[in-house]
Amino acid sequence: MNFPILSVISFIPIGTALILFMLPGDRKNLIRWVALAAAFACFSLSVLAYFSYDQDVGGYQFKEGPYPWVGALGISYHVGVDGMNLPLVLLTGVVIFTGVLISWGVDDRPREFFAFLFILATGVFGVFISLDLFQLFFFYEIAVFPMYLLIAIWGWKVTREYAAMKLTLYLFIGSVIALVGALAMYFTADMQTFDMIALQEAGFSTAFQRFWFPFVFFGFAVLGGIFPVHNWSPDGHVAAPTAVSMFHAGVLMKLGAFAALRVGIMLMPEGAKIWAPLILVLATVNVVYGALIAMVQRDFKYVIGFSSVSHMGLVMLGFATLNLKGLTGAGLQMFSHGVMTALFFAVVGMVYDRAHTREISKLGGFSKVMPLVAVAFIIGGLVSMGMPGFSGFIAEFPIFMGLWQRQPIVAIIAALGIVITASYIIRIIGRVFFGEIPKEFEGHISSINNFDRIALVLLAGILILIGVYPSVMAPLIESGANAVLALFGGA
């Protein structure tokens, strides 16, 4: 296939952003339709790429490059996908499409809103497909910057400035630390290249890896929300407008986790072995502590924000097992959590837009006025609890099996997170969607529009599809996990 599908997917958004800026700002419907068309194109192309990947061949496919970019420094444009990042490309396609769908009602400067959202999407796509370390950092920063504007301008008025600042500082500091580690690799390898496939063969000494691994891994893991540097994420989620929260929790946190895997674990496997116990401990705290904090929140959106912290802990746990089951589960969890949390934030947004409050105690009875939204939230909740038949179970089960092989005690402790999650999800479903609808809302709650419906059905459908038929994704991710493990001397 000579069609450069990956480049097209990642540059459609930024091209769209440029087109949007050229459109007159008051033609709001035109802007929305252009945005929707572009998002749909990204979505369909990522689906196409997902299903045309040849699993029998494996390895990096749809490769482009390396084309010299800054030749003198060994920086090139080099992209390709394998079993680990292809699902994430699909995830990004899904989230950008549904994110635009549910943002139909954004009325404040939609042109700029969608343009920044698309710039963000380019950054995210770019990171997932990068095979060049410098290029990865380049796109990483492209993804972080529009986030600041999106939150600070369109966010929740009460905390948006604080949250945007906090998020940006955390992420920049994280990425600077990671960059230091990356530069150390570049100079030590002394191969005049940033190409990650070449760097995989660099053979860094164990002492080097022991020292530099934490820089790279934890630098990126900040964006993955690892304890104790997870603090930016609930604040950021809550302050962001709905589509941005979806992007933020659904995709951006995966960006951190993926980069930690791609640059940290895959380039310095020895370092990963040495530091894995610490990651296990921190990620276990994520899982259990995150769930406990979620349980005591009074704000609907904060519950979901902290639940993301808890669930991303499972991804990190899967990484830290450094075995096939754990990594496969982590890959599945990244996808599953991305879709699930996008669904959650979409629902929260729909409720908030109508009730103008997120205080759980003031909500109630919403299943009567928005039955589809209630069903969607319940499905997301079941995924979150790890209920069999939904994607969460499919993702968590191998992670736990991987943990049993590596550190059984962690499996047992982390399993507590499941019960805690069940209790807060059940509580929210009961409080927000059932019971009596408060007097002040009666007759004031408008139903959702068809764009919202498509988005909810698509997201919920994916969660069920993977839950019922895991083979649609698991073998692909397993092949990616095998490729990661091959770097550990065929472990």
Partner 1 sequence: MDFIQDHLLSLILFSPTIAAMLVFLLPSGRVKLIRWAATLASLVPLGLAVWLWFAYDSSTSGFQFVERAEWYEAIGSSYFLGADGISVSMVLLTTLLTPLSLLISWNISDRVRTFMALFLLLETGMLGVFLSLDLLLFFVFWEVGLIPMYFLINQWGSANREYASFKFLIYTMAGSLGLLLAIQLIGVTAGTFDLLEITTKWTALDQPLQLLGLPISLSTSTVKTIAFWAFVIAFAIKVPIWPFHTWLPDAHTEAPTGGSMILAGVLLKLGAYGFLRLVLPLYPAEAKQFAVVLGLLGTLAIVLGAFASWGQNDFKRLVAYSSVNHMGFVVLGIAAAAFVQDGSQDAVIALNGAVLQMFNHGLSAAGMFLLVGVIYERTQSRDLDSYGGFFPLAPIYGGILTFTAMASLGLPGLNGFVSEFLVVRGSWPILTLFTAISMIGLLITGAYILKAIMKVLHGPLNEKWVDHPLEINRREILAVTPLMALMLWIGVWPGWILRVINDTVLRLFG
Tell me the C-alpha distance between 362 and 346, whole Å: 19
Dihedral sign (CA 327, 331, 336, 342): positive
Beta strands in 124-209 (DSSP E): none
Torsion of CA 47, 14, 114, 374, to 10 degrees: 20
- At 27 the three-state DSSP class reads coil
CA distance 140 to 175: 8
Q: Is 30 in the site for partner 1 (CB under 8 A)?
A: no
Q: Is residue 411 part of the contact set for partner 1 (CB under 8 A)?
A: yes
Return the CA Rg of the chain: 21
By the 8 A CB rule, do 126 and 253 touch?
A: no
Run of H or E including 323: none
Secondary structure in 3-state letters for 364-387: CCHHHHCHHHHHHHHHHHHHHCCC
The nearer residue to partner 1, 25 or 430, going by C-beta atoms, is: 430
* Pairwise CA distance, residues 328 & 343, whole Å: 23
- What lies within 8 Å, CB to CB, of 131 at 6+ separation is 60, 63, 65, 66, 78, 79, 80, 195, 196, 197
Among 419, 440, 442, 447, binds partner 1 (CB under 8 A): 419
**Least Å distance between CB 367 and partner 1?**
9
Rounded least distance, CB 331 to partner 1, Å: 10
| Choices 85-93, 112-120, 204-212, 465-473; region in contact with partner 1 by CB under 8 A | 465-473
Residues 454 and 445: their CA atoms lie apart, in Å, by 20
Q: Could you say which of 44, 440, 475, 491 contacts partner 1 (CB under 8 A)?
A: 475
Pick the stretch among 8-16, 228-236, 339-347, 418-426 that binds partner 1 (CB under 8 A).
Answer: 418-426
| CA gap 233, 375 in Å, rounded | 26
Please tell me the count of residues contacting partner 1 according to CB under 8 A.
37
Q: Residue 182's beta-bridge partner residues? A: none
Among 119, 259, 355, 394, binds partner 1 (CB under 8 A): 394
328 counts as binding partner 1 under rule CB under 8 A: yes
In the shown chain, the binding pattern of residues 354 to 393 toward partner 1, with x for contact by CB under 8 A and - for none, equals: ----------------------------x--x-xxx---x
CB 329 → partner 1: shortest distance, Å?
A: 9
Q: Which of 135, 245, 333, 407 binds partner 1 (CB under 8 A)?
A: 407
CA distance 172 to 184: 18
Site string for partner 1, 45-74 (x = CB under 8 A): ------------------------------
Q: Does 474 bind partner 1 (CB under 8 A)?
A: yes
Q: Mask of contacts with partner 1, 308-327, x by CB under 8 A?
A: -----------------x--
Contact between 462 and partner 1 per CB under 8 A: no
Nearer to partner 1, 409 or 491 (CB): 409
What is the smallest separation between the CB atom of 399 and partner 1, expressed in angstroms? 10
Q: Does 175 help bind partner 1 (rule: CB under 8 A)?
A: no
Query: 402 and 323 in contact (C-beta within 8 Å)?
Result: yes
For partner 1, the closer CB: 171 or 340: 340
Cα distance between residue 93 and residue 76, in whole Å: 25
Note the helical H segments in 53-132.
86-102, 110-129
Interaction between residue 422 and partner 1 (CB under 8 A): yes
Q: Residues in the site for partner 1, rule: CB under 8 A?
A: 325, 328, 382, 385, 387-389, 393-394, 397-398, 400-401, 404-412, 415, 418-419, 422-423, 426, 430, 434, 469-471, 474-475, 477-478
